[in-house]
Structure formats: C-alpha cells, structure tokens
Structure 1
Amino acid sequence: MELGIDRLISERFKILRGKRIGLLANFSSCNKELKPTIDIFLNQRYCKLNVIFAPEHGLFSALQDQKRAFDFIDSTRGVLVSSLYGRRLAPDQKVLDDIDSVVIDLIDIGTRYYTFLWSAMLLIKECAKSKKTVYILDRPNPLNGVTVQGPVLERKFSSFVGLYPIPVRHGMTIGEVCNLINREYAINADLRIIPISGWKRKYYFPQTGLRWVPPSPNMPSFDTTLVYPGMCLLEGTNISEGRGTTRPFETFGAPYIEPERLCSALKKERIKGVIFRPTSFIPTFSKYRGRLCGGAQVYVQNGKVFNPILLGLAVIKTIRNLYPKEFQWRKPPYEFEKKKLPFDILIGNSWVRRMLMKDEPLWKIEKRWSCGFSHFKKLRKKYLIYD
C-alpha cells in the first residue's frame, strides 16, 4: 500500500516542482517507512517549504486537548510554524501570500469531532479566497470506508467539532470528505487529491499493513479509534472519558460510580460486539485528576456489529439513571463555543440529549437519526474514490 505522500515521493514531487509550499501536518504524519512528511519536504530539492501549519495538539502532537498553541520559528529546521489552534483557527492571509500552493497530510480518524478535518477545511476555505491550489495527500480511514453511523449535524450546531452536515462516522477518507464539502457547500477551492494505492474501503486499519502512529496524545492505538466515535461524547458530561490514563476513551468513570453496579446495568443495554470490565483508576490529568474513580473498561470483540455511538449513549444513559444527583451535563465554554452545551455540539443537535433525559430507548434514538442518512449517503457516493 502507498499513501499519498509515498506516491508524491515516487513521482519526485512532479506536481509541486518550483513552488513555495505551505504544509498542514504534524510529526505524526509519516510515510509507510515512518519518515515524517515534514522532514521529507525539508530534505527534498524540488520545492521550497515556507511554512508548516500545525493543527490541534501542535507540531509534535504533544499538547493535550484544547491547549492553544502559538506561532514560532522552528530553529532546528529554520521554518515558520503557524498554529491553526490558537488565537485563530484559519491561517493569516499574510502567511498565504508567501506561498504558491498548500499541501495537507493529516491522520484523520473518520469521526466528525476530530478537529483535524476542520483545520483542513478552514485552510481550504482561505486558499479558495486567495486562489491557491490545495493538494491532499490521502490516507486510509482507520475505521473503514463503508460504515456510516450517528446523526447528521444540524447547521445551527456548527462548531469546531463539526462545521458541516456530516454524520458522526462518515466512512470516507480525509480527501474524499474534504472534496465533498468543498463542492457541495460552494467553497470551490482548486482542490486536488493524491490518492492512496492498494486500499480497499472494507479495510480497518490493521488490514492496511501500516504501523499505527498516534495522531494526538489520547489516540494511542487503533483500539482507541474503534470506541472514540461514541466515547468522545463523554466530554459533554462530568464522566471521565479516561484522559490521564493509559487507555483513554476505553476506560471511563467518576468518583461517584460503583464499578460492578455500572457493568451490571450496562449489560442490560445489550450493546452488540462489546464487553465491559469493572475497574478503578486515578487520572493523572483532566477530569478528577488525582482522585479515585470507579468505572469500566470497554473491549470491542466484533467491530462489524459494534456501533460506538450507541455505546457512548448507553454509557451516559446508564450512569445518569444510576446516579441522577451526581451526573451533570458539561457547561460551555468548549472548543471555542461559548453558548451551546458541549454535548449538543458534539452530537450535532439537542434532541438526542432531550430523548436521553426522557429515558427513551436507544433504538428510538437510532431510528430517528437514521432518517437523516439517505440524503448524505446519496451525496457521499459521488465523491468515493476507492472500491
């Protein structure tokens, strides 16, 4: 299998020769031999890397969630690093004036909340204004390119964890979904995709033969990505999503939870493809830092029948029912949004929260969001590159 960056190398940067380049990437963006894309660009002679645009978590993928970064000169490499997660989310037009084209190489995990996609889209939007060509070095969706799950975002809930109406799990590569948004929402940038070779839509990440490189501090393994589309919803509550442990998003809980009681109640929700293990943990940072939490660790046994969004909702519903006095919805601000509830901007609407508060069964919630799929699925077909 060859990634977009590998194909660019094999073609000796033919499409970029003689150009001044802005590169949106971090040091997790590597080729199949684990060489960072940034260093590959700095060590070739065909084009000039003038600026690196850094997404959330910074140039080195070292910053924790929602930690803002600033522009700086990387003295080791002698290049400007412009943060797209700080005082601004889109690039400064003055920086764009010093480049001819933009290249994007980011590891996306196929989930609407993951902010790398939105950094890419805001950069593409600015490039459309200044008539700069954008090249996306495509990468596999680690959760496969087939499965579509979760509600489609309602536009009034747009935020930096979801700017355009796509489902939670969209089943597209970053190149495909950027192309869809660019064309369907009249951004009209000159956007070109350098495709992957040897990837099949049905592949989960382990089937690619590539090594896992964590794109952010709390995405340490492929197992994390499997549960993330649902367990990230815990960020909209006072339940710990396991940040500050070695198993973020797989481990969850709070000081007020009794592990065995929780697991017993979760089994009754009959979430397909998973089992729960009672556990206790002490987060080293984030929610409940330094406090003993009771909770569970989730294990995915069958990814083909597993729905992570239903898992996340089942966890919230169950804990809210067991501990109604202790459970709380998180209040803003969250991800640059100061008014709307964090849970609502994550799930992309307010009706899911209202149904959970009425203790509606999960199948009813899923049935309602499934009604909004047909339009997206038709739209999506036009932009699928791979078989």
Structure 2
Amino acid sequence: MSHQAILNGIDVLLEDDFRALRDLRVAVVANHSSITLDGRRTVDVLAQRRDLFLTSIFSPEHGPQGNVDATVGDSTDERTGLPIYSLYGGSYRPTPQQLHQVDAVLYDLQDVGCRFYTYITTLGLLLEACGENGVAVYVLDRPNPIGGLDVEGPCSDSDHESFVAYHELPLRHGMTVGELARLFNAERNINAQLKVVTMGGWQRSFWHHNTGQRWIDPSPNIRDVTAALLFPGVGLIEGSNVSVGRGTGNPFHVFGAPWMDGEAVARAVHERTIPGLRCESAAFTPQDSVHRHYRQPCSGVHFIVEDEQSFSPAALGLAIIEILRERYPDVWEYRSIEKLLGRSDLIEAIEDRSPELETLWKPDPDFFEARARALLYG
C-alpha cells in the first residue's frame, strides 16, 4: 500500500492509539470491507485491544463476508468467537437487548455513493436505535468511490421511505457515510451521540483511484468503481423485468431482456449523446438462479464509461426509462421501479410520457442546503 494512501477512519483511530474509545464497551457494524490500510480486519484490531472491550459484531445486507444475495441470519465470528447479529434478516436495527451493556457502536462500512444502496439505511437505523438507547455512535469514515462533488437525480419523498429510501436523498448524493450520518442525525431529529472519525487526506474531488487504496467489492455485484458509477442509473431499473447483469461477469455494466432488441436500444441510447458514455449491443445469459432471467438468453446493451468526470448515471437512468417506455409499452413492467425511485409522481410521469419528467429528474433544492450543513471535507 502506498504511503500516499488516504487514511480511513479506522486508520486514524489506530494512529491516535484509540484514545477516544479507551475503557469503553463497543460493538461494531462491519463486513469484509472493514479493513485497515495494512489489510487487518477492523474486528480483529478491536478485539486485540486491551484498553477497550469488543462485545459483538453487526453485519449489513450481504452478510459478514459480503457474498450473500439474500436475507442473512445471526452467526458467530470464527476468529474471535464473538456473536454476529444480522441487520438484514429478522431485524434491521439493533435491539435494546443487543445494545445492553454497550457504550458505543462503531460503523465501518464501504458505501458506493447511491441512495438505494442499503448500507446507508443500516446507518440511519443504527443511529435511531442507539439514540433511543443512550448508546454513542462512532462512524469511521471512508471515501465515496464515485466522488464527493456530483449530486444528481431525483430525491425520494417522505411518503415512500423504505429500506432503499431511508431519507429524501437524490440518486447520487455526493457524500461520505460520515457526512450522511450527520445529515440523518440532524434532519431527522434523531439526536444520537454521534462522532465521525474523519479521514486523513481525502478531498471532495477524489475518486477511488485518487485514494491509493485497493478496490474491495463492497457487495457481490459492485466489482469495480465503474459498476459503482453506473449503479445509480442502471441499478434503478432492476426492480423491473430486465436483467442488469447479475449472474454474469459484468453486473451493472450491461442490461437486457429476452424480449429486447439490444442493437435498437443501444442505438437509441447512443442518440441521447450522454457525455462520457459509449454503448454497444450485448448478448448475455444470467447464470445465477436467484437473479432475473436465469439461463434465458438476453439481448441488451453494454455500457463503457470513457470519461467518469463528465458521465452522468442519472442521465443514463432517465434515458433507459424513456427508451424502454417508448419501445416496449406493453412488455416493460415500469411500475415496479417505484420503490427504488421513491416517488409516485415520477411513475405517473413515466406512464404519461410527460415532458415534465426531465424537470422532475433533478435534486430538490432543499437537499443542497441540508447537505451543505453536513459536509466535513473541502
């Protein structure tokens, strides 16, 4: 690892010899992405300390190893023997019993910068549970891999809150998890005892390749930073009857369906002239039985991001929606994406092919004010 690498929150704690946590009983929200720059698990680093006491582990969606595409049960960490409580199974937030005799919960997960990526919902629910039970929350901050400057796409609304729409955020929020924790805590009046352990050296203009850190898949199908960048746009439509490449070697780089004409759709996307994007027709067959169109040959589109700085995933998402609605009005089940959109008026605009859709496809101005109050980095 280069000495130029950005320090994550856990590495900043290490440099400070964990002074803020001494003599505390702590739990940690962690998975396979929760590692130090020198490759040690956050769980192991905490468990080996003699000046604090690690009581338990909480795991998010995809489980402690980040390799499960289903609900996850409780388990035991083989290396430490500590209980692992799933926050994506029977309960989605720590229970009072699990927080009993815990002074602080540490949150150390790698996010991808998209509103419907569920690790940030887990963060919000953690703040709520800890606030209600008088337990402090320490967010060990990590970089937003797709940068901290660009904010785009429609905000969800408060009537459509769900596990993929915890708060009224745009598709791409341009924030770190530490900043989101501050926003949630203030805007939702949670008022938990929140401490963000900020990164060392990170700047808003940084993308993953600027951090000096190696890529770790935060979940099974986000396998590179390009997938993370495409996710707010392509991932938006996976609630419908199309495949977004899960069960293939290129999840979120492709999308298609057995009923689609990939060449025609690729041409239509190309005609939108989305900056930084090249696309070509693709043929693929999903091979995982838990994903849509399992073993069904699909025709679709392969997306190649040639300039990440100018590319807009929200613009791509809108283009896909409008093209599918126009070309396949009787086949594409567009209403099923309402949960990921988090807005019923957008579904109505899609249904009516309304020219207002493009206007609605922008962040709420109020979000920018709340975001500005929560930012931690320049």
Partner of residue 165 from structure 2, selected from 162, 165, 168: 162
Quote the Cα distance in structure 2 between the aligned partners of 1:309 and 1:369.
8
Residue ranges of structure 1 left out of the alignment (5+ in a row): 330-340
| Alignment partner, residue 35 of structure 1 | 40
> Which residue identity is paired with 1:378?
E
Residue 53 of structure 1 deviates from its aligned partner by 0.4
1:12 aligns with 2:17: yes
Asked if the contact 2:346–2:360 (Cα under 8 Å) also holds between the matched residues in 1, the reply is no
Partner of residue 80 from structure 1, selected from 79, 83, 89: 83
Identity fraction in percent: 35
Superposed CA deviations along residues 81-108 of structure 1, whole A, max 9, x for unmatched, are 0000001111111010031111000101
Superposed CA deviations along residues 112-159 of structure 1, whole A, max 9, x for unmatched, are 100001111111111111111110100111111111111121100110
| Alignment partner, residue 335 of structure 1 | none
1:57 aligns with 2:62: yes
| Of 42-51 and 144-153, the range deviating more from structure 2 | 42-51
Partner of residue 282 from structure 1, selected from 267, 282, 285: 285
| Alignment partner, residue 305 of structure 2 | 300
Aligned positions of 1:64-103 closer than 5 A: 64=69, 67-103=70-106
Give the number of equivalent residue pairs: 371
SS in 2 for 1:315: helix
TM-score, normalising length: structure 1: 0.92
Quote the Cα distance in structure 2 between the aligned partners of 1:260 and 1:357.
24
| Alignment partner, residue 128 of structure 1 | 131
> Which residue identity is paired with 1:12?
D
Asked if the contact 1:29–1:215 (Cα under 8 Å) also holds between the matched residues in 2, the reply is no
Residue 262 of structure 1 deviates from its aligned partner by 1.7
Superposed CA deviations along residues 228-247 of structure 1, whole A, max 9, x for unmatched, are 01111112210111100111
Partner of residue 316 from structure 1, selected from 321, 327, 350: 321
Asked if the contact 2:28–2:58 (Cα under 8 Å) also holds between the matched residues in 1, the reply is yes
Partner of residue 237 from structure 1, selected from 230, 236, 240: 240
1:273 aligns with 2:276: yes
| Alignment partner, residue 365 of structure 1 | 357
1:374 aligns with 2:368: no
SS in 1 for 2:374: coil
| Of 347-356 and 50-59, the range deviating more from structure 2 | 347-356
> Which residue identity is paired with 1:175?
G
Residue 342 of structure 1 deviates from its aligned partner by 4.4
Aligned positions of 1:159-308 closer than 5 A: 159-285=162-288, 286-308=291-313
1:325 aligns with 2:319: no
SS in 2 for 1:280: strand
| Alignment partner, residue 140 of structure 1 | 143
Quote the Cα distance in structure 1 between the aligned partners of 2:71 and 2:374.
33
Quote the Cα distance in structure 2 between the aligned partners of 1:53 and 1:267.
44
| Alignment partner, residue 338 of structure 1 | none
Quote the Cα distance in structure 2 between the aligned partners of 1:193 and 1:288.
42
| Alignment partner, residue 45 of structure 1 | 50
Residue ranges of structure 2 left out of the alignment (5+ in a row): 1-5
Quote the Cα distance in structure 1 between the aligned partners of 2:336 and 2:326.
20
Q: CA RMSD in A?
A: 1.4
| Of 72-81 and 221-230, the range deviating more from structure 2 | 72-81
Superposed CA deviations along residues 142-197 of structure 1, whole A, max 9, x for unmatched, are 11111111112110011000111121111111000111110121100000000001
| Alignment partner, residue 346 of structure 2 | 352
Quote the Cα distance in structure 2 between the aligned partners of 1:75 and 1:279.
42
SS in 2 for 1:245: coil
Residue 316 of structure 1 deviates from its aligned partner by 2.7
